Amino acid sequence: MLMPGFLRYDFMQNAFIATTLIALMGSLVGYFVVLRRQAFGSHALSNIGFAGAAGASLIGAEPMLGLLVFVLGAALLMAWTGRHVGERDISVGMILMFSLGLGALFVNLYSANANAAIGILFGSVFGIDASQIRWITITSLVVLAGLVALFRPLRFASLNPDAARARGIPVSLIDTLFLLLLGAASAIAVPVIGALLSFAIFIGPASAAQAWSGRVGMGLALTALLALGEAMGGLILSYYANLPASSCIAGLSFGIYALSRLTRVASRRCVAG
pLDDT for residue 265? 73
pLDDT for residue 84? 57
Nearest to residue 195, comparing CAs of 111, 60, 70, 80?
70
67-100: per-residue pLDDT in tens?
Answer: 888 888 888 888 777 555 556 677 788 888 888 7
- What sign does the CA torsion over 78, 125, 116, 100 have? negative
Residue type, 24: L
pLDDT higher for 256 or 271?
256
* Whether pLDDT at 238 is above 60: yes
pTM: predicted TM-score of the whole model, two decimal places: 0.84
* Whether pLDDT at 177 is above 80: yes
Nearest to residue 213, comparing CAs of 35, 33, 21?
35
pLDDT for residue 53? 78
Q: Where are the beta strands (DSSP E) in 19-146?
A: none
- Distance CA(36)–CA(30), nearest Å, equals 10
Of the pLDDT bands very low, low, confident and very high (cuts 50, 70, 90), residue 6 is low
Mean pLDDT on 7-25: 85
Nearest to residue 15, comparing CAs of 261, 268, 217, 246?
246
Cβ(63)–Cβ(56) under 8 Å?
yes
- Distance CA(206)–CA(26), nearest Å, equals 10
193-215: per-residue pLDDT in tens?
Answer: 777 677 788 899 999 999 998 88
Neighbour-count burial of 55, counting CB atoms closer than 10 A to its CB (0-12 exposed, 13-18 middle, 19+ buried): buried
Q: How many CA atoms lie within 13 A of 268 on its CB side?
A: 8
pLDDT for residue 225? 95
pLDDT for residue 65? 80
pLDDT for residue 1? 45
Neighbour-count burial of 27, counting CB atoms closer than 10 A to its CB (0-12 exposed, 13-18 middle, 19+ buried): buried
Among the residue ranges 39-43, 146-150, 204-208, 231-235, the one predicted with the least confidence is 39-43
Cβ(42)–Cβ(33) under 8 Å?
yes
Q: How far is CA 12 from the centre of its chain?
A: 21
* Whether pLDDT at 54 is above 70: yes
203: DSSP letter: T
* Whether pLDDT at 46 is above 60: yes
* Whether pLDDT at 3 is above 80: no
Nearest to residue 133, comparing CAs of 13, 39, 23, 223?
13
Provide CB contacts within 8 A for 246, sequence distance 6+.
Answer: 122, 123, 125, 193, 194, 197, 200, 234
- CATH label, 2-196, candidates 3.90.1150.10, 3.40.50.1000, 3.40.720.10, 1.10.3470.10: 1.10.3470.10
Percent of the chain with pLDDT strictly greater than 70 = 87
- Residues across the chain: 273
- Distance CA(210)–CA(217), nearest Å, equals 11
Report domain extents, the chain.
2-196
pLDDT for residue 42? 81
* Whether pLDDT at 62 is above 90: no
* Whether pLDDT at 4 is above 60: no
* Whether pLDDT at 5 is above 70: no
pLDDT for residue 221? 94
Mean pLDDT of the chain: 82
